[in-house]
Structure 1
Amino acid sequence: MNGKSALVVRIQQAEASMTIDDGTDRVDDRLALVDAWQSLPQADQEVLSLSVWEELSAAEAAQVLGCTRAAYSMRLTRAKRRVPEALAAHRHDDRTAVALAH
């Protein structure tokens, strides 16, 4: 490696070590997720909670909700489709707010 290449490598390494992960991206993601969750209809939150947090089987969750297994499965599928839409909407809102602030 010639002197110039070695210098470029050292500069790149120094720049990389100066980059600090202050966690703001993770915090922003979590806030967007919380906002997205809260924007979901109560029925979606309920069906997702039974599936993800309570880890109930489809039959168990259907029993809790007082519906058929097929109805529960359809509700879960629809709720899962709405999560990325809600998350995208809230991430977009955050970026728009930041852009407007500058």
Structure 2
Amino acid sequence: MGIRQDATSGNAQKLSEAAAFTPKLSAYIKMGQLLVAERALLAVEIDEADFPAYALEEMQNRFMTKNSRSPISWSLKLRAYGKAVKDNMTSLGYIMWPDDNEILSYKKCASR
């Protein structure tokens, strides 16, 4: 999903877990959306558009869709994949089932 610096060894790099990287992608996407909205307001100020909504819709269709070949499109697809991976994996250390198959525990709550 994402490359991060490994804290245990000097210059080594590791891939980030989906749970840790999808919020960063979401922040990147949100910043792009805010920049597009700000540019739509500027378009009205400099008489490129009559209303911000017109400029916003045109720029969203051009830059902010999954169907275009753009960095934001790639980011949207990668975030959707990361969310699917995150939603289909259990968190490490929460569910424990000992070898005797007698007790199932989840976050320190045991069940027989």
Q: Normalising by structure 1, report the TM-score.
A: 0.29
Tell me: higher relative CO, structure 1 or 2? Use CA pairs within 8 A at least 6 residues apart: 1
* More helix by percentage: 1
* More strand by percentage: 2
